[in-house]
């Protein structure tokens, strides 16, 4: 169940090698190109558009980085591609655009963002895109159902669980208690059968990722590493880091 060695062979640039002070925006072409130039793996997020396309964007809502506002899922791929990112000439990419740009030069770590409603259209589209992509790529998600979809729809691609010790902060308040409980302690691992775990670095060490790594042989990534202390922690307890804010 362990992920291939290339997943942990080099640091993973969180949302690409972005630097807003230099006009390089997360998840955008410039961040992808910078990561390729540095020979880093690239972590990106994908969201579903209104017409079923897999678009590269972290937030469910537009506005934090873009000139437009509203929900990503309420706009078509063409509409999303037309939106300008603040203070740049960058536009949103689709997963197909990303794969064409990377061309297998470095590994892709693709996080499937979820509304936790059981909709698998995003993973289905991801499977369609990756079916013709020859480069190294893995999928992962916080949502157990999306990880199960990765297992069922992309059985030939490694898959992972994104996790942390608890889900009590405001970001997770929209979920039911049952949904939050299902994510605790990697308890869905026997069903989803991950090849790797991406665990919140400040929550390491923890029993569940230790067992996944040392008993079941899953690779362990620590996210998101921003400080020397966090980098030391990853070196002690994980196989590789997902980083941002510096160049390793």
Considering the chain, what is the average pLDDT of its residues? 96
Evaluate whether residue 60 is within a structural domain.
Answer: yes
Is a pLDDT exceeding 90 seen at residue 2? no
Evaluate whether residue 122 is within a structural domain.
Answer: yes
Confidence of residue 226 (pLDDT cuts 50, 70, 90): very high
Global pTM?
0.97
Is a pLDDT exceeding 70 seen at residue 1? no
Evaluate whether residue 103 is within a structural domain.
Answer: yes
* CB of 115 closer than 8 Å to CB of 123: no
Evaluate whether residue 77 is within a structural domain.
Answer: yes
Evaluate whether residue 248 is within a structural domain.
Answer: no
Is a pLDDT exceeding 80 seen at residue 174? yes
Query: What whole-number percentage of the chain has pLDDT above 70?
Result: 100
Name the helix (H) or strand (E) containing 214.
Answer: helix 207-214
pLDDT in tens, 120-146: 999 999 999 999 999 999 999 999 999
User: How many domains are contained in the chain?
Assistant: 1
pLDDT on residue 101: 98
Evaluate whether residue 120 is within a structural domain.
Answer: yes
Task: Determine the structural domain holding residue 84 and report its residue range.
Answer: 5-243
Query: What whole-number percentage of the chain has pLDDT above 90?
Result: 95
CATH number at residue 185: 3.20.20.190
pLDDT in tens, 39-88: 999 999 999 999 999 999 999 999 999 999 999 999 999 999 999 999 89
């Amino acid at each position: 169940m362990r992920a291939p060695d290339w997943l942990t062979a080099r640091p993973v640039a969180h949302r690409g090698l972005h630097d807003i002070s230099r006009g390089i925006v997360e998840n955008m072409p410039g961040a992808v190109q910078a990561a390729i130039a540095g020979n880093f793996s690239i972590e990106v997020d994908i969201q579903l558009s209104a017409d079923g396309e897999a678009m590269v964007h972290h937030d469910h809502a537009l506005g934090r980085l873009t000139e437009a506002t509203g929900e990503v899922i309420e706009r078509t791929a063409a509409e999303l591609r037309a939106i300008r990112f603040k203070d740049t000439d960058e536009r949103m990419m689709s997963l197909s655009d990303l794969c064409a740009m990377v061309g297998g030069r470095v590994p892709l770590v693709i996080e499937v963002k979820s509304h936790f409603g059981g909709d698998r259209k995003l993973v289905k589209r991801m499977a369609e895109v990756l079916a013709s992509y020859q480069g190294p790529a893995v999928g992962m998600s916080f949502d157990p159902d999306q990880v199960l979809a990765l297992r069922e729809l992309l059985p030939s691609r490694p898959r992972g669980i994104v996790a942390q010790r608890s889900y009590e902060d405001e970001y997770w308040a929209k979920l039911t208690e049952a949904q939050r409980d299902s994510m605790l302690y990697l308890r869905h691992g026997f069903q989803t059968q991950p090849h790797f775990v991406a665990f919140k670095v400040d929550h390491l060490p923890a029993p569940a990722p230790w067992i996944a790594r040392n008993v079941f042989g899953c690779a362990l990534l620590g996210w998101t590493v921003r400080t020397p202390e966090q980098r030391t922690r990853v070196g002690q307890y994980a196989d590789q880091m997902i980083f941002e804010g510096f160049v390793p």
